Amino acid sequence: MNIAEGVQIVSFGILGTTMLAAALGVVLLSNIVYSAFLLGGVFVSMAGIYLLLNADFVAAAQILIYVGAINVLILFAIMLVNKQEDFSAVPKRWIRNGATAIVCFGLFALLGTMVLITPWSIAPATAVAVQDTVVEIGKHFFSDYLLPFELASVLLLMAMVGAIILARRDFIPEQLGVQQTALTLPEQPRESSAGSIASDEMPSS
């Protein structure tokens, strides 16, 4: 093992430990703001692991999309809502806790089984490493995976159009018979204002 392999192993250990610790903080901390910040740490650690795997494009997409868009959106939603709610005991909470524990244990057993049965063989030394991953991903997108790529584009377009329609929807008052007016000051008609100015300027007899 040379120096480069040692640095990669140490970096992988640091990134893996950071990612696991941040993931545990996301699910264990009671403060949702801290959990959202730790979720960003999980995404950054995953991007670092992608860099160790020579997947530079996936690492950049991880930072731009998950950290720069999704995590920031979660933080804005949490801070803008800022809803304070007192803790109240949930009846038969042990049922929910038991169901959650069963699901988590099942997922852990499934992932552990996949890790154990997967042949983690090392690639032969004659394999040529990909130099430009962006070019290779572009070739696969527009050749082998063209149909799923276009379907994903149409799905994102539909979601964007739906978000625009929902954002521009007129406000409908819930109470019947209540006329909802715009939150603007009523503008005085120009004719009446002009007439009042003319009457003020006329000399009184």
Digit-coded pLDDT (tens) for 87-112:
677 788 889 889 989 999 999 999 99
Neighbours of 1 (CB within 10 A): 7
pLDDT for 4 equals 76
Place of tokens 């149409």: 154
- State which of 40-49, 86-95, 169-178 shows the largest mean pLDDT: 40-49
As given in the structure block, the two tokens for residue 179 are 């006329």
pLDDT digits (tens, 9 = 90+) for 141-164: 888 888 888 898 899 899 888 888
- pTM, to two decimals: 0.60
How much is the CA Rg of the chain, to the nearest whole Å? Answer: 29
Are the CB atoms for 129 and 53 separated by under 8 Å? no
Task: Report the CATH number of the 1-82 domain.
Answer: 1.20.120.1200
